[in-house]
Structure 1
Amino acid sequence: MVRRHYIPDPPPQAMRCHHPGCEAEGLYRAPKSPNQLNQYLWFCLDHVREYNKSWDFYAGMNTDQIEKQVRFDTVWQRPTWPLGQWGTSAAARRFAAMDETEFMPDDVREAINARMNAAKNRAEQERRRQKQRVASKEEAALAVLELAPPVTWTEIRARYKSLVKQLHPDANGGDKSAEEQLKLVNQAYGTLKAAAAEA
């Protein structure tokens, strides 16, 4: 049996600095380019510092490419997917088309259905909360105009014009409290106008 002996790698060969005209020894490596990060140029200490100062990884990239690269780097250059893609929505897609005759234990089917129903209920509750929040904002705006629902847009506009005349600085000799009240009236009218435009 032939015995094989371990032969260590030869020591690295001394290289001349890659900077044009420099005769010093190149002891410090630097990547050739952003596309060649594992291929190196070798420099002396002074020239590697100079090279590093002028290094721009994003040179030649537009804004979209830079943003894409930064986002890719924030996840350690690994693939990602949106949260929830493998959650209840994926379960709904996977089991919606399942044949009822296909074997699935009852307790597993119940657990899957409960999870999907819970997600639907949460979405519905959030939708109701959003609707209530909008309604309360409109009701508060009506209260500023000293109105209560139900009310027509014609009545809102007439009330707004009336309050503007009453609270205008010219009609109140520059009274600060009237001026502040007028700001509130303008904000309330803007809120109601935006809600009417959405409707």
Structure 2
Amino acid sequence: MAREKISKERPGARFHGRVEADGRRCEAPGCDEAGEFRAPRRDGGRQGDGPGGYRWFCLEHVRAFNAGYNYFAGMTVEEIHDAQRPYAGWERETRAFAHAGADPAPAWADFADPLEAIGATIRDRAAERAAARAERQDGRPLTSLDRSALKVMGLAVDADRSALRKRYSELVRRYHPDRNGGDRAHEAALQKVIAAYQQLRTSRAFA
């Protein structure tokens, strides 16, 4: 009766563990249902170091098999003890990932960059480093605070006091709430501009 119910309500393709039988029959004696669910062989069925073989059952008989399955069946007390150790299976030697401590990083030339995404990033970073080391042509020294302030203002290292005042006026007009309908969203940027201007107007480079 149960077998007839299973046959009429056959598990769908998404049923957990089901494998299309393709003519394979259940290995339970006297069962004519399709063998769509696998179970390990009692003897392991191993061939060399490969995984063990399987027996194939219908849903009813694989459930019966699972209900009575005992992984430790046929093992001695010592074998059961070894299999239950927390680190069982971890004693085997594993392959090292690198012979010299770390694999060498790939060269940029090995990458295809048709959109110049990598190349543009490298050039931008190189330009930033060059700007951070650039000196004024008039020989006036720039401190790290001066360089940070110039970056906030968007000015080159050779800017003079006239360029500084002009740029300051532009940025104040851009960020001031009165020029943005009372919107104070740019207030933080305005404060940075004011601080940068105060730093540069008293700097030896703009004396």
Q: Identify the structure with the greater strand proportion.
A: 1
Q: TM-score, normalised by structure 1?
A: 0.31
Q: TM-score, normalised by structure 2?
A: 0.30
Q: Identify the structure with the greater helix proportion.
A: 1
